[in-house]
A and B are shown apart, each in its own frame.
Chain A
């Protein structure tokens, strides 16, 4: 009886490895902060109290978590099919750009048509971009990792070309001052294509919330996407087939499941999830496409998926944690007048990933040992 309880303890350990990894990573961060001559306790206190100590902070955290939920789900979904979708970045680019294009082109459509149309376009753009590595993998056997990475750079160039094609005319103020756009950007999308900020909803409920906060309805789309991913993976035939291919493609094929078809579908759904980032970045926030080099959303999605153990609920929680770190890190950067660069957070995220995989491995070994003893 006693040994069985001990066994459960190890299974619990495997479940909480992400937590252990995060604690270790924060310790590493503290050492780095100490080494560059700052006070780790002050830094972490500033980070967490600003990020989750008040409503404005929470709003900012959720705003930053939203795109990571999408890209995290994208990576997790592909991973369930045994695929590494490292191309989230490019799928974000294509989906977001196309949604923006729809938003500033079909300006006379009413909101109840234009908003769904933009959302669907964002998803379709991402799906299309991810279909290419999916097809190459399914039909030709080309490993998806390098292809998806290459597709990121191609997407960056392609959107750069397109943004110049659809560049916003200079404003009167810019014309008068004779300045050009520093970062090329498109026209703004139609009012009818914009997602309401959370503030406008909370106002009708008489809840006090700062009006400048950027968190918007896209967060709820992200939560809905997480639920949908759960439903597809564990409640539908498609999800069963995708997981079967991920678990053992040869056995799946033998069982009558088309491996190629499921690889392509999984990549497309994964890409669609990544493309939905556009709902937050453009439809809910900037209202236009700005050509910036990689925002690292696709890559951070990998870390989020791992930390969330490739489960939708885990992904949402991990994305919120990363939202806290990102927003808190930016605040710390301001508080310390740049003495702690915000890239420290990127380093911490990488360290978290390394610790998660190591902790998982250790937990697995302990469980295996335990089983042998039993």
Chain B
């Protein structure tokens, strides 16, 4: 029984489920590190998921679909930044509005362009196989693992690269230092000549790009279709992962993997256990609440998170 559940395929599906959460969570890291709460990740993901499928089907090229999803994410990030940074309006309200907008606009266009609310992808990204080392007649588990890891969608490799890059940008470059200072103590950053408005725009638009990419992964790779509300609260679970990961890229990735593991386990248990499927479906959401409760006191948000910057002029 144990071996039936925890095999290489299980590990692979955990990772697959974790990727959109990790990407969107990383978007949250960028945004909140600069001091802007982004509840709109959910809507940006949803719009990205729709755009990826729609543009892929129209252009017959999944790469263009992917790019379009990122672009639309950046655009929604721009709107969030205009409302929250320039107009200093309530960040949660703006995020909620983006989610509402996304729910409407995706269905609106899927009716308009395709005449239905569920769209199958007509072409998908290739699977990239890395050259396999010769491992002979070893354990099947290890061999399966290597095969699994060597044959993934390009997006999986891309995600790993994005995470390493993000870590380097945030912690090893002057740009990252400025970005974090803007979210911790903007007054000080301002006196040092950092352009707070610009930094926050860049951060929020980056978070939109990542959420759009997460959405594209969800529809193009995971589901192979778009359906109304496909994001299913994952944008919010991603925020929980970000908090649990203490607003760091690798921490968020780890928390996302934990969620991926939980959801994969829940899916596996559907056939095996006597627990009704509806309760199994609750697992990711219960896990998110549990994770948030246990993160309290350990995870401290950036000091200026959620506070619009007001220049102090006498």
Question: Given A84-B92, A146-B240, A350-B101 in contact, is the A157-B107 Cβ separation under 8 Å?
Answer: no
What mask results when residues 134 to 164 of chain A are scored 1 for a CB within 8 Å of chain B, else 0?
Answer: 0010001111011101111110011011001
Q: Give A240 Cβ to nearest chain B Cβ, in Å.
A: 24
- B83 touching A306, Cβ below 8 Å: no
- B288 touching A142, Cβ below 8 Å: no
Return the contact of A149 from the options B83, B229, B233, B296 (Cβ within 8 A). Answer: B233
A residues less than 8 Å from B93 (CB atoms): 302, 306, 353, 357
Q: Give A225 Cβ to nearest chain B Cβ, in Å.
A: 22
Return the contact of A299 from the options B96, B278, B285, B296 (Cβ within 8 A). Answer: B96
Return the contact of B293 from the options A136, A357, A358 (Cβ within 8 A). Answer: A136
Question: Given A150-B236, A154-B282 in contact, is the A343-B89 Cβ separation under 8 Å?
Answer: no
Is A303 engaged at the interface, CB distance under 8 Å to the other chain? yes
A residues less than 8 Å from B98 (CB atoms): 350
What mask results when residues 200 to 242 of chain B are scored 1 for a CB within 8 Å of chain A, else 0?
Answer: 0000000000000000000000000000010011001101100
A residues less than 8 Å from B289 (CB atoms): 136, 142, 146-147, 150-151
B residues less than 8 Å from A294 (CB atoms): 229
Give the 8 A-B residue pairs with the shortest CB-CB distance, closest first: A346-B104, A350-B101, A161-B278, A357-B89, A353-B97, A343-B108, A341-B111, A347-B104
Contact-residue bracket for chain B: 35 or more
Task: Give the distance in Å from the alpha carbon of A357 to the alpha carbon of B82 in the complex.
Answer: 12
What mask results when residues 276 to 304 of chain B are scored 1 for a CB within 8 Å of chain A, else 0?
Answer: 10110110011011001100110000000
Binding site for A on B (CB under 8 A): 39, 79, 83, 87-90, 92-94, 96-101, 103-105, 107-108, 111-112, 229, 232-233, 236-237, 239-240, 243, 276, 278-279, 281-282, 285-286, 288-289, 292-293, 296-297
Is A360 engaged at the interface, CB distance under 8 Å to the other chain? yes
Task: Give the distance in Å from the alpha carbon of A146 to the alpha carbon of B282 in the complex.
Answer: 15
- A354 touching B293, Cβ below 8 Å: no
B residues less than 8 Å from A146 (CB atoms): 236, 239-240, 243, 288-289, 292
Task: Give the distance in Å from the alpha carbon of A357 to the alpha carbon of B90 in the complex.
Answer: 7
Q: Give A105 Cβ to nearest chain B Cβ, in Å.
A: 21
- A353 touching B285, Cβ below 8 Å: no
Is A39 engaged at the interface, CB distance under 8 Å to the other chain? no
- B108 touching A344, Cβ below 8 Å: yes
Task: Give the distance in Å from the alpha carbon of A320 to the alpha carbon of B101 in the complex.
Answer: 20
Q: Give A81 Cβ to nearest chain B Cβ, in Å.
A: 15
Q: Give A96 Cβ to nearest chain B Cβ, in Å.
A: 17
- Chain A residue with Cβ nearest B93: A357
Is A171 engaged at the interface, CB distance under 8 Å to the other chain? no
- A158 touching B101, Cβ below 8 Å: no
Q: Give A72 Cβ to nearest chain B Cβ, in Å.
A: 13
Question: Given A142-B292, A157-B282 in contact, is the A341-B87 Cβ separation under 8 Å?
Answer: no
Task: Give the distance in Å from the alpha carbon of A207 to the alpha carbon of B236 in the complex.
Answer: 50
- B96 touching A86, Cβ below 8 Å: yes
- Chain A residue with Cβ nearest B240: A146
Q: Give B92 Cβ to nearest chain A Cβ, in Å.
A: 6
Return the contact of B92 from the options A145, A147, A161 (Cβ within 8 A). Answer: A145
| Additional A-B contact list (13), CB under 8 Å, known A347-B105, A357-B97 | A136-B289, A140-B293, A141-B296, A146-B239, A146-B288, A150-B236, A150-B285, A154-B285, A299-B99, A302-B93, A343-B104, A346-B108, A350-B97
Task: Give the distance in Å from the alpha carbon of A147 to the alpha carbon of B289 in the complex.
Answer: 6
Could you list 13 A-B pairs, sorted by A, with CB under 8 Å? Answer: A36-B112, A140-B296, A146-B239, A153-B232, A157-B281, A160-B278, A296-B100, A300-B100, A338-B111, A344-B104, A345-B104, A347-B105, A358-B83
Task: Give the distance in Å from the alpha carbon of A143 to the alpha carbon of B279 in the complex.
Answer: 24
- B108 touching A347, Cβ below 8 Å: yes
What mask results when residues 155 to 184 of chain A are scored 1 for a CB within 8 Å of chain B, else 0?
Answer: 001101100100000000000000000000
A residues less than 8 Å from B96 (CB atoms): 86, 299, 302, 353
